[in-house]
Structure formats: C-alpha cells, structure tokens
Structure 1
Amino acid sequence: MNENMVKWVQEGNISIPRALLLYYKDMNINENELVLLLHVISFLEKGNDFPTPTEISSRMTISTSQCTELLRKLIQKGFIKIDDGYSNEGIRFEKYTIEPLWQKLVNEYLLNQNAQQKEQNEKNEMDLYTVFEQEFGRPLSPFECETLALWLDDDRHEPIIIKAALREAVISGKLNFRYIDRILFEWKKNGIKTIEQAKSYGNKFRQNSRHSVRTNSEEETSRPEAVPFYNWLEQ
C-alpha cells in the first residue's frame, strides 16, 4: 500500500445511523443543515469538540457567515447544544454535543414505526373483514362487524389468530360467529398466541376427537346407554 493510500485509510470514516438519512426531512432538517451536522460529527470524532464556522465552511460550499447562521438555527431547533467542558488543568472550554440530535432521531424513528404499525394494523383489519365476507359468501351484518371489532379491540386477538379460528370453523363445518368466538375463548384460555400454536392445538384436538368418537362407538356396542361425546367447541 503506497503512502497516499495509507493516509486515506488513516482518515477513517464517520458513523451515522441510516435513520438520519431516512428521517432528516421529517425532522425539518434541510440538505445544507444535514451536511453541516455531518461535518460537526466528523470534527467531534477527530477530537475537535468546538470547530469554528471557518473550519466547517472550508469543507462546504457556503461562506463562513452562512455557516454561522446555519449553526445558530441548528442550536435554536435543538439539534446541537453547546456544553461546558474542562481540561485536565481545570480550564473551562466550550464544546458541541449532538446528543439532542440523536434523541430527536430516536423519537422520530419511534413515531414512524408506530405510524407504520398502525397503518399495517388497519390494513390487517380491513383484510380480516374481507376474508370473513368471502368465507360467509355475503356482507357481514352490523352485529357481526361489532363482534369482529370486539375480538380485536377488547379481547386483543391478533387478526392472524382470528383468521386461524375462522379456518378451524370452516374445517369443522360450523361456520358461525358463536363457534368462532368459542374457539378464540379456548385458545386464549390455553395461551394460544401464534399461528403455529393454533395449528398444533387444532390438530391435537381433531386427533383427540377422532379417538373419542372411536371409543364411544366401541362402548355403544357394550352399553345400552352410551354417554355422548362433547368437544370444547360444541355449542
């Protein structure tokens, strides 16, 4: 590696979250402000805690006065803060900190994640109504729509679990809301929270049902009055 390459490697890199590039616009940061922030981060990582507007503007396409104005705006908007620092000799000095930027970025990230989750939940709920109408072959009644809303909002069932309960009702040949409600009740009582658990529980139940039917059939041949088998979903 030649000398120039060594110097290039020694310059190092700056580390910034990808979220900053994704959300700086939503945080009301323009491109000039973003580049200035990147230069401040670079100076801080190199050990210069309080770069001057002249030092920063020398790396940008703006004047020193423009750089000063941008710094002032970033401080006013709460992205950069000037803190006091002290040397080993106890001499006080000023330094930039970008902790406020990271805090605002975290808040913006969480806000966007919550918005995306809300949008996805609303989409899942709309899909849920569509799936039910397709299986029932008709529009849902107001009472049925209200029941679906109660499952989601009051009982806190995930849409995917409700769809799984609908599937169980279809397999059992008992396509009605009371039957589906009973399935969801039993699943919640038994801690069923994922689609995998629901499938496993449904398979075990059907196996037990077939076994019980065979057992009851055998007992009917030896007993005049056989006790009928009731499963936990029977209405």
Structure 2
Amino acid sequence: MDKNIIVSWMEAGMIQVPNLLMQKYKQIGLDEKELTLLLQILSFIETGNEFPTPEQLAERMTISSGECSGVLRKLVQMQFLSIEEGVSEDGIRFEKYSMSPLWIRLADELKFEKKQSDLKLTLLEEHDLYSLFEQEFGRPLSPMECENLAMWLDEDGQDPVIIKAALREAVLAGKLSFRYIDRILFNWKKNGVKTLEQARMQGIQFRQKTKQPTQPTTGTSSKTIPFYNWLEP
C-alpha cells in the first residue's frame, strides 16, 4: 500500500464511538439515521468544526440538507443534542453542538437498567426468603407471618440475607418463632450489623458467651449458662 495513503489516513484522525452507544441507541429512542447524524457531528467536532451546517452534514450522508435540518431539530427537541454558546480567545461568541445530552441519556439508561436488575434480584430474594421460612417452619406461613416478613423488608429495611441469618440463629437455638427472630433482628440492628459476616460473628460471640460458666456463689456449684436467649433484654 502507498505510504502516502497511510499517512493521509492517519492524519485524517479517528473518532471514538462508545460501545455503549452502539449497543443502546435503540433503547434510548434513536434510529439509524439519527445515530449516523450524531456520529457525523462527533466527527466534525473531533476535526475542529464544532457547529457543522446541515449542508456540510448532508454532503456525507444520503439525505438532503433539508431533511438533515429536520433531524437536527428533532435531536435537539428530544434532548439528544444541544446547541451551546462558546467564546473564542478573541472574545468572539459562537455556537457549537454539545454531545453531553446524549451521554447523559446513556447514563440514565444504564441507571434504569441497573434499577430493574436490582428489583428483579430483590423480588427473587424475597421469594426465596418466603420459601425458606416455610421450609424451616414445615408449613405455609400465616397471613400475619407474611405481614411480619414484609415489615422487616419494607419498613425496617432489612436485607433478605440478614433475615435468613436470623432465621438460622433461631433454628440453632431451637426457638423457631417470629417473635424470637424479630428480637434477633432488633439486636443486630442496634449493634450495627449490616453484613452476613457481621451477623455470623455476632452469633459466634453470643454462643461463646453462653459456654462460659457462671461464678460460683456460697453454697452453690458452678453451672453452665443455657443457650443465649435473644428475647432477654
């Protein structure tokens, strides 16, 4: 290949197109014509022309300058593109295109998708939580018990993982009741327990504490404290 062609190619520059834009343009409401026009504007900006005319854009595309003007107006109205005012070093004011609205729309789409994903995960965790309680209790939960579970999740903001850990503590203690589990959650929240590891350590600490014998008193022999009762203050 002619070296001059390669040099010309490199000197013409390149534009960086985010993969996210190519993956999500349909989801955010763009069609191929609008996407191409935005990429052409980006190309002009990269080469120093921050406000290409519809005629200049149309020369690179298969649409007329009139249609190009219409698409530009639509992109501005739909907040994919904005026209801003700049000031040169000489103090001369000028207009320029900004791609910031497009990047913001992409960021919003990512945030929305993450919220949807988190919601699906939460619903799945809650379903698993109800199933686990019914499995441990060996029966369907009563309406009041379901209400208690919902209260822990919605009003108290308890993580399903922490609720499962409290259920496990109740099973280990042989005190399988919602009142007992509620007391465990209350104590953990008071002690700042927010992770599964913190909950596990709390359980270990309390179980170790129960293994320590009481100090012997006059006329009595030492005895072992029974399994920690979370219902005690």
Class of the TM-score when normalised by the shorter of the 2 chains? 0.7 to 0.9
Once the two structures are superposed, what CA deviation does each residue of 1:183-224 show, in whole Å capped at 9, x if it has no partner? 1111111111001111122122212222x2xx14x848x743
The equivalent residue for 2:27 is 26
Contact kept, 8 Å, 2:13 with 2:47, in 1: the verdict is no
Q: CA shift at 1:22, angstroms?
A: 4.0
Is 1:233 aligned to residue 224 of structure 2? no
Partner Cα separation in structure 1 for residue 190 and residue 89 of structure 2? 63
- Give 1:81's aligned residue: 82
Unaligned runs of 5+ in 1: none
Q: Does 1:146 align with 2:142?
A: no
Once the two structures are TM-superposed, the CA of residue 65 in structure 1 deviates from its matched residue by 3.3
Kindly state the Cα deviation for residue 49 of structure 1 after the two structures are TM-superposed: 0.6
Structure 1 distance, partners of 2:78, 2:112, is 18
Q: TM-score, normalised by structure 2?
A: 0.84
Count of residue pairs the alignment pairs up: 230
Q: Secondary structure at the match of 1:114?
A: helix
Residue type matched to 1:115 in 2?
A: Q
CA deviation after TM superposition for structure 1 residue 179, in Å: 1.4
Q: CA–CA distance in 1 between the matches of 2:73 and 2:65? A: 12
Q: CA deviation at 1:155?
A: 1.2
**Does the CA contact (< 8 Å) of 1:23 and 1:109 recur in 2?**
no
Aligned-pair identity in percent equals 49
Alpha-carbon distance, 1:156 to partner: 0.9
SS in 2 for 1:93: strand
Do the aligned residues in 2 keep the contact of 1:24 with 1:30 (CA within 8 Å)?
A: yes
Separation in 2 of the partners of 1:229 and 1:123? 40
SS at match of 1:82: strand
Instruction: Determine if contact 1:81/1:100 at 8 Å carries over to the other structure.
Output: yes
Give the residue type in structure 2 aligned to 1:78: Q
Q: Which moved more, 1:172-181 or 1:85-94?
A: 85-94
User: Do structure 1's residue 51 and structure 2's residue 52 form an aligned pair?
Assistant: yes
Deviation at 1:4, TM superposition (A): 4.0
Higher mean C-alpha deviation, range 52-61 or range 197-206 = 52-61
SS in 2 for 1:113: helix
Distance 2:188 2:203 in 1: 10
Secondary structure (helix, strand or coil) at the match of 2:94 reads: strand
> What is the aligned-residue RMSD (CA, Å)?
2.7
Partner SS state of residue 95, structure 2: strand
The answer to whether residue 220 in structure 2 is matched with residue 224 in structure 1 is: yes
Structure 2 CA distance, aligned partners of 1:138 and 1:9?
A: 72
Secondary structure in 1 matching 2:85: strand
Q: Is the 8 A contact 1:20 1:105 kept in 2?
A: yes
Q: What's 2:189 paired with?
A: 188
Q: Does 1:124 align with 2:121?
A: no
The one-character-per-residue Cα deviations of 1:103-155 (angstroms, maximum 9, x if unpaired) are 33333332332233223222221221111112212111011101101111111
**Aligned-partner SS, 1:66:** helix
CA distance in 2, matches of 1:170, 1:21: 51
Q: What secondary structure does 2:141 align onto?
A: coil
CA–CA distance in 2 between the matches of 1:3 and 1:223?
105
> In structure 1, how many angstroms separate the alpha carbons of the residues matched to 2:6 and 2:95?
35
Instruction: Name the structure 1 match of 2:179.
Output: 178
TM-score with structure 1 setting the length: 0.83
**1:98 corresponds to:** 99
User: C-alpha displacement at 1:82, in angstroms?
Assistant: 2.1
